[in-house]
Amino acid sequence: MRVGGGAFWANVIPLAEEIEESHDPKKFLENTRGIMEDLATVIRRKEYKVRSLNRCNLTFAGAPDYVAAVQVYCHVKEAIKPHPVYLHPDNQKLLRSETRYINMDTGAILDKDTEVRSYVDFGGEHVPITYGDIAKMKTFDADENDRGRENTQVFAAGNGEADGEGEEAEVEETISGSLEIIGFKNRRKLKFQHRIGHGYFIYPHEGRITGSKRLVEALCCRMAKLGKIALV
């Protein structure tokens, strides 16, 4: 049995009785064109553009000529309680909080960079680590393979042909870091307990390097066919 458009949208779009009783598709489309556009506008108001966490390059160990621009996304992220805001009780001006380290024996103020040290537990021992190293670990910093590419022109991945032009495309920009694929592993060897945090999703950024989408698509299709996962 064929269901008409009026019966499907009867509870969503208000129509006159003569249009509902006629069951004429042409009359239905003529009288609901503006209503459908208004309905689509209301629905699209709830759509939000996903913001990428970072933009970096996808490189391959042993193949420096193949570079793809990608964006990093996170589907699930924990909600973090915002930092407190301190205000002056008299004039309600914003106050700035400062943390100082004091020697418990002498009461002297310690220099955070030279006199305060931190460490991590590794192998049952305390390994010293600086605050600069901690800040570097939390960001995508440029590695040795990327230092030679800073402030240089990055050529398109693949054969370098732009769509519809057949010429080699170039994108000039500064590279801040990269995800380097160092090898591949059988997908069956990836266990659930190997997951130590939320998964991240990367998507090719065609606007930065032409050919990134084609390179990432070929890589994913090949790994799916062979049952492999990439190690970065």
184-210 mean pLDDT:
85
Is residue 179 included in any domain, yes or no? no
Comparison of pLDDT for 186 and 29, the residue scoring more: 186
Is residue 56 included in any domain, yes or no? no
Residue 79 has pLDDT above 90, yes or no: no
Residue 219 has pLDDT above 80, yes or no: yes
119-124 mean pLDDT:
85
Comparison of pLDDT for 169 and 227, the residue scoring more: 227
Q: How much is the pTM? A: 0.46
154-171 mean pLDDT:
40
- pLDDT tens, position by position, 92-106: 899 988 888 898 889
Average pLDDT of the chain is 74
Is residue 28 included in any domain, yes or no? yes
- Residue 152: its pLDDT value, please? 34
Comparison of pLDDT for 43 and 83, the residue scoring more: 83
Domain count, the chain: 1
95-99, 143-147, 176-180: least confident range:
143-147
Is residue 95 included in any domain, yes or no? no
Question: Residue 80 has which token pair?
Answer: 């973090």
Is residue 200 included in any domain, yes or no? no
127-147 mean pLDDT:
67
28-42, 105-119, 155-169, 197-211: least confident range:
155-169
Full residue range of the structural domain in which residue 27 is found: 15-42
Is residue 27 included in any domain, yes or no? yes
Residue 70 has pLDDT above 70, yes or no: yes
Comparison of pLDDT for 164 and 78, the residue scoring more: 78
Residue 1 has pLDDT above 80, yes or no: no
Is residue 36 included in any domain, yes or no? yes
Is residue 30 included in any domain, yes or no? yes
